[in-house]
Amino acid sequence: MSNHLAFVFPGQGSQQVGMLTDIYEQETIVRSTFSEASDALGVDLTKLILEGPAEQLNSTENTQPALLTCSVALWRLWQQRGGAIPAYMAGHSLGEYSALTCAESLSLGEAVKIVHLRGQLMQQAVPVGEGAMAAILGLTDEQVREACQQAANDGVVSAVNYNSPGQVVIAGSTSAVNRAINLCKEAGAKRALPLPVSVPSHCDLMKPAAQQLAETLNKIPFEAPQIPVVQNVTADIAGTPEQVRSNLLEQLYSPVLWVDSVQYLNNKGITHLVECGPGKVLSGLAKRIDRSLSASSLESLDAFNKSIDATA
């Protein structure tokens, strides 16, 4: 195990049709992982990931199992190649399920079914068009929270993703989010941009989804993670499988404390993050959170090989 290494797992937004194609074509363990997840879910995730169509892949209930499957496939390949075992894991939103699966708290088969259901319940909780999210750049966390508080008399809106200093995502009912966007601009935000999503994640509108998801999660046997997982809602490690489950449910309607989570890792002596999934979103955020951190991704075969070498 490397005491200075942590694996981080991306959430929604990192998907694209054809992700991991080069690795899939060359690595048997990746192909077998895609097949295992497809069989468990009863959906051809392999075709969806490699061929799309984009509209189907971007549908929340499909995006979530597809990204989780990609992350688990990369982790298994990393282990097969003899890559250094990280001291910690963490995942952004959906990525927390990927982290827990790779840490052996959940099986892959259980995990893809849970996140598929999670996506369905999230979409059902708020009809399309009635919820929104927006990225706010250039304000302090407190300024964003204050704008949301002022806008909340027009509906639900709150800060939901603390991604890096000066980058906060808000979510809620469409009218309240639009009002908060205008208030953030008035407060001097560099940018305040609506995001192309159909579900307002991590706000109070997701409480009905959490209540319904609890019925399934409470029947799933969670194991203690074999590698400590820093969870979104606490920016800390859960001590028991029961806490893991409870935090996952709370995560649906609570902010993702990503800045605090990365700082927790840094305080534990982590100096390098490996982003285990498609894209480089979390790698990019790492430098903005703490310049002392180095980060690499596994999004292509070339990037994978470089990360293996960098952490050997």
Which residues have a catalytic role annotated?
93, 202
Strands 229-231 and 236-237: antiparallel
- How buried is residue 271: exposed, middle or buried, by Cβ count under 10 Å (0-12/13-18/19+)? middle
Cα–Cα distance measured from residue 298 to residue 67, given in angstroms and rounded to the nearest whole number: 13
Q: Which residues contact 78 (CB under 8 A, 6 or more apart)?
A: 274, 276, 298, 304, 308
CB 37 within 8 A of CB 71: no
Please give the radius of gyration of the chain, using alpha carbons only, rounded to the nearest integer. 18
For the residues of 168-197, what is the DSSP string, one character each? EEEEEEHHHHHHHHHHHHHTT-SEEEE-S-
Torsion sign (Cα): 236, 218, 107, 209: negative
Identify which of 172, 203, 197 has the alpha carbon closest to the alpha carbon of residue 183.
172
- Which amino acid is residue 194, in one-letter code? P
CA 112 to each of CA 35, 43, 90, 298: distance values in angstroms, whole numbers, following the listed order: 12, 10, 18, 21
- Indicate the pairing of strand 86-91 with strand 131-137: unpaired
